[in-house]
Amino acid sequence: MSEVHQGRGYVYSIQYHLVWCVKYRHHILYGNIDTYVKKLLNQIALDNDSQIIEMESDKDHIHLLIECKPQHYIPNIMKAFKGVSARLLLKAYPELKKRLSGGHLWNPSYFVATVSENTDEQIRHYIQHQKKN
């Protein structure tokens, strides 16, 4: 169950399920790259005053369950997650540019859904079981 937080003059509990893919669904999210992108995403969340509750990837896409404040605007959150992670990941692993068309890491589209206390556990379970062996 998600926590209820207080702001100045308001009470909130806001969670989103976010999913996005690697450009052209290239399988690059494994090993050190997968570990590094998850580290980056956690730092980006902290830098943007949000929190990743669950995170998992499976070769070509990432699932996040995040908690944020009412002031957050989803397109800005996605821009931060995708833009900053792409820039830093391609800097750390320049060989990825050769594998990706035009050097673009992420597909420009994404999926977002609100999460209620009724669906919280289902989505956590779904994200935790993303990685296929």
Q: Which residue has the higher pLDDT, 1 or 49?
A: 49
Average pLDDT over residues 42-57: 96
Which pLDDT does position 131 carry in this prediction? 76
Q: Which residue has the higher pLDDT, 121 or 58?
A: 58
Q: Is 63 exposed, middle or buried (0-12, 13-18, 19+ CB in 10 A)?
A: buried
Residue 45 has pLDDT above 60, yes or no: yes
Average pLDDT over residues 29-46: 97
The residues that are catalytic are 126
Which pLDDT does position 132 carry in this prediction? 67
The pTM for the full model equals 0.87
Which pLDDT does position 99 carry in this prediction? 85
Query: For 59-104, what is each residue's pLDDT tens digit?
Result: 999 999 999 999 999 999 999 999 999 999 999 999 998 888 777 9
Residue 1 has pLDDT above 60, yes or no: no
Letter string b/e over residues 41-51, b meaning 16 or more CB atoms within 10 A of that residue's CB? beebbeebebe
